[in-house]
Chain A
Amino acid sequence: MEILAKAAFTFYCLIICMGSIMAVASRSLVRALVGLIAVMIAVAGMYLLLAAPFIAFMQILIYVGGVSVLIFFAIMLSRASAEGDEAGPVSLRKAVNAFACLLTPAIILSLIIIYHPEAALDAPTNVPPALLGEGMLGPYLLPFELISVVLFAAMAGAVLAAWRKRGRK
């Protein structure tokens, strides 16, 4: 079983590496979106490996089912050309900035993680979804309600922002 888990972890890691590179480097935005969806599914697999199946299903439902469709609409409605607006060379300054932004947090955070390891359990904690529900309706009721308010405000704001007034061109 140990070997199987390690194999699955390596497999998801490979998908995450390839998908994320595709998502940031692909010229076509639709291809980038496909890379992002692959990453999302692989992260859901990681959640399964962490013994959090509820989070994994939520990841698939919310990200793969919802957010990726929204991003696809954004790409489609902004009339990105087939070649993509991303085509053409990236200026040297931008590339250098991007690599600096990649390396600085990568080095700092990896060094912290590797040299100051937290005491870790050998096997992940098993939390039944019933406990999550109790937590949501018990001690964390306020954030749970607040997030629905935030979602409603975001939806209403989105409709208001994208509203085309009648009569005006």
Chain B
Amino acid sequence: MTDLMLFQLVGVFLFCVGIFGLVRRKTLMGMLIALELMINGAGLSIVAAAQLTTGDAVRGQLAALFVMGLAAAEATLMLAIILVVVKRFKSGQTDRISQMRG
């Protein structure tokens, strides 16, 4: 077991637990939390691959930074979408949000 393998496995663990939560959660907020878990796993995997292989380390670290920036943008948009949905449907539960035309 190399170090790279261990870090990659932790990244895969985070990603898979994130998918599990994304499918299992009943509210939009819970799904958002699970999504952040997945993004963290992806970032960890990218940085591990950049630091522990002969690939370009600068490129890998910048990729991780871009992932973080995109995650921040995504969280902002999700906040707005959740606000609008909760205002319109009076609930954040995904089962109740089945109507496309409000």
List A residues at the B interface (Cβ < 8 Å): 9, 13, 16-17, 20-21, 23-25, 29, 32-33, 36, 39-40, 43, 46-47, 50-52, 54-55, 58-59, 62-63, 66-67, 70-71, 73-75, 77-80, 85-86, 88, 90, 94-95, 97-99, 101-103, 105-106, 109-110, 113-114, 117-122, 124-125, 127, 131-132, 135-136, 140, 143, 147, 150-151, 153-155, 157-159, 161-162
Contact = CB atoms under 8 A, between A and B. Distances in A.
Contact of B32 (A74, A119, A131): A74
Is chain A's binding surface mostly helix, strand, loop or mixed?
helix
A162 B83 contact: yes
Interface residues of B, number: 73
A159 B81 CA distance: 10
Contacts of B59: 135, 140
B33 A23 contact: yes
Contacts, number: 242
Nearest to A67: B75
A71 B33 contact: yes
A86 B26 contact: yes
Interface in B33-64: 33-34, 36-37, 40, 43-44, 47-54, 57-59, 61-62, 64
Interface of B: 2-10, 12-30, 32-34, 36-37, 40, 43-44, 47-54, 57-59, 61-62, 64-66, 68-84, 86, 91-93
B16 to A, nearest CB: 4
Nearest to B2: A120
| Most chain A CB within a 10 A radius of its CB, from B6, B19, B74 | B19
A162 B54 CA distance: 46
A157 B65 CA distance: 22
